[in-house]
Structures are given as structure tokens and as C-alpha cells.
Amino acid sequence: MDEFNFYNSENDGYRGGFGDYTDPAPAQGAGQPSAPGQPPRRKRGWTRAAALILACAVAGAAAGVGGAALYQSAARPDTVIYQGERPQVETMVNSNNGQPMTPEQLYAANLPSCVGITVNTTVNIFGQTTTSAASGSGFVLTQDGYIVTNYHVIEEAVNDSSVDIQVSFANGDKYTAALVGGEQDNDVAVLKIEATGLQPVTLGDSSKLVVGEDVYAIGNPLGELTFTFTDGMVSALDRLITTTGTDPNTDSDVAITLNVLQTNCAINPGNSGGPLFDSYGNVVGIVSAKYTQSTSGVSAEGLGFALPINDVKSILSDLIEHGYVTGKPYLGIQVQAVDQQVQRYGIPAGAEVIYIAEGSCAQKAGLQLNDIITAIDGTAVDSPSALTAALSSDYKAGDTAALTVVRQQQEMTITVTFDEKNAQTEANNQLQQQQQQQTDNGYYFQWPFGHFSW
């Protein structure tokens, strides 16, 4: 069976080559921002997916109307996220009394919730400074200006405050956006613009999706065919896709695995970050990737993927409230794969520990350099990505787990209570790693896709 590759858009849906990103003439209709753009102030800002991915040629969408308030952030009466209801598939009828809308109605109702996202970066090429614009898609989450998109669309802004993010609406309004927070492991980011009276989307229930039902997307293909409407169906559920992303601390490649739903909606560069929604107008996914061709060169069409919205609801809440995803487990180690040549001599496959942060839960538990982690609570670990997947999907900070470890060809069990992965623990880990590299004259351990930090 051919192995397919993702279209890799670096860190965005589309970059250059087809002209500047422009919006169409202002459209008439309600639900548009009520105030001109103002430079926003920066706010502070886990689910199922395993590791992470710079999603690829991607797609966008608008979203729903109606529904009941799902939750609202403390002390933010305007920051309300809406969740809609839908009957079971068996009861679907084509009517407008709480039933599916026609495509025409759906587009008109959701267009005000769709945005184009442009990320302007300044680069130096052969001594010449030039500005490059990356275009993607997104959608309005709350009426007071929180915007959702893919992490890979705005990745360059994560560690560089000089990167400018612009949000554009179908009526021509444009705003400068601040990055509230991003979750690279799940390819989700939240932006904030200074506006009120926006029309937010309604979040649906992706667990109710069935293969064969209609889904729709609105996005900005190629960065210039703005607010394009495409349709298709749910082609499959619970797919696992893997591609590579960039570690923001080391600039090295990391493998990223996501749980996604598959659709045949047209997806192209520039659509990254927009939602996929059902015929009720509820957002059921964030479209973020597509297959392009196999390693043997066979072209692929109609193979698009979206993050199920149920997998990211809690992420969005955390990003708005804290700026990062709370409760993620953190070991404070870096691991690499056990070389296959070494495995021929009886050394087991697993995740070999090549670095342990001082003061981390791993150090306190007694983990040592060169230990090979082969299982966690009885679940086999045969690679760094397997360890990442297990930690991401099954554990939270504060949980206790039993690690099966092979040390000097002797198997043992080490019990560890996970720290929380946050800016402080990661910064401490990174600083110590840099100091270690200097001491070791720059010798750096990597597995083929870069190290895994946990």
C-alpha cells in the first residue's frame, strides 16, 4: 500500500505566488463588527490528539447560528461560546424549523463568522529585507473578538512578537490580532481582535457525525479566492495522520500525529484554520490537512481532514482563560528511538532517555540517562512517538504511572507522578539542555525527526 505524504505548507495555509491577499467588495448583511479595528492588547491566555502537526493544504469554514450558551469565561460576560443541538441522523428532514438548512441559507447565515488571516513576516534574503505574507482562514468564536485558526497558520508569531497578524472579514473590515495562545500538539490557536458585536459560530457535536452525511466549508483558497464555499461529505471517522512540525524551542523537526475526520470537501492552500460544519450550521471540525500524493508519485484528490470539534473544545477554553492548555503531563525528559542495529543485539525497542531536567518528576522518580522506556502502565512503548501518544491521550498532570524501564539489560518498574507541561517547566528544561550542550561541546542527540520533549 502506498504511503501518502501531506502537502506541507511550512507554517501556514498559503505563502505567495498567486498575488497579494485581498478581500472582495464589502458584502451587505448583519453580524459584522460594529467598531473599526484597534491595535489589540495581548491577553493571557488536550483532548485526544497524540503529537503535533503543521497541517498542510487546508480548509476553512464559517459556522453556525442559534444554539444555547455552552460556557463563558469568568468575569467576561461577552465571551460566550455557543453549542447547538441536532436530532439523530434518522430524523433529518429538509426543513427550516430546527432542521438542516439549504446550502444557500447556510452560506448566507455563516459568512459573517468567517475570516481570512494574513501573517506578515520580514525575512532577509541575500542581504535584502523583504516582507512575506502567509494567508489562512479562521472563524469567530465569541462576539467580543476571539478568533480560532490553526497553530501552523500563525506559528511564526509564537516566538516573534514583531510578526503581524491581520484578520479580515467579508465586509472588508480588517483588524490587527494578538495571539492569545497556541496548542501545537493539536494544531489549534486562538487570536483576539478588539471588536464587539461580532457574529460567533455555534459549536456542534462531532461525536454524532456519521459517514456519508453532508458537510460544508468556507475558506480562502490560495489566499486570494476569498470566502469560497465548498461541499462534500464525511468520508471516514477517527483517522490518524502524521506529518512534521517545528519545535519552537530548537527549530528541529518533530513528528505530529492527530486524530481527524476525513472529508472530500475541496481543500487547498490558504484554507487552513477554517471550520467544517454540518447542515445545521454547527461547527463540527477545523479543517487542517490533505493528502497530495504517495511516495511513489501517485496523485491523490478529495482526501481532506479536519480536527473533530469535540477534541478541541476544552483546548479553546484553556487558551482563552490561561494562554496554554492546562493539565498536560510532563516528565522533563528528552528521548530518542533505539537504533535498529542495536536491537539486533537484544536491546529492546522503546524510548531511550537522553536528557533529564534537574528537579523534574522524572529525576525525582529515579529515571536515569540511557534508560529505555518500553511500557507505561502495561501499554507497550516501542518508539518515542508511542510514548508521546500514550501520554497525550491517557494522562493528566498529577496522575501517577508505572514506567517499565530497561537499564543495563535489566527490567525494572519506576513510578512517576507527572508534572504539568507549561511555560515554566519547558523553559527550565530548555535552559538546562542548552547548558548541557555547551558543556558537551555542542554534541546533540536526535532521533530522525528530532527529539521528543516530555
Q: What is the DSSP letter of 390?
A: H
318 is catalytic: no
Q: From CA 271, how far away is CA 175, in angstroms rounded?
A: 19
Q: From CA 4, how far away is CA 300, in angstroms rounded?
A: 8
Read off the C-alpha cell for 68: 444555547
Q: Around Cβ 444, how many Cβ atoms within 10 Å?
A: 12
Q: From CA 334, how far away is CA 453, in angstroms rounded?
A: 5
Using CA atoms, how far residue 416 sits from 59, 327, 384, 398, in Å, is 41, 16, 18, 9
Q: Which residues of 88-97 are buried (b: 16+ CB within 10 A; e: fewer)?
A: eeeeeeeeee
Read off the C-alpha cell for 159: 516566538
152 is catalytic: yes
Of 168, 235, 272, 392, catalytic? 272
Closest CA to 32 of 158, 167, 179: 167
Q: Which residues contact 345 (CB under 8 A, 6 or more apart)?
A: none
272 is catalytic: yes
Which residues of 158-294 form beta strands (DSSP E)?
A: 164-169, 174-183, 188-192, 202-203, 214-219, 228-246, 253-263, 275-278, 282-294
Of 187, 278, 311, 419, catalytic? 187
User: Pairing between strand 329-330 and 419-420?
Assistant: antiparallel
Q: Are 396 and 418 in contact (CB under 8 A)?
A: yes
Closest CA to 274 of 155, 117, 429: 117
- Dihedral sign computed on CA atoms, order 428, 429, 433, 434: negative
> For the chain, how far is it from start to end, CA to CA, in angstroms?
33
Beta bridge pairs of residue 406: 372, 411
Q: Are 63 and 311 in contact (CB under 8 A)?
A: no
Q: Indicate which residues carry an active-site annotation.
A: 152, 187, 272
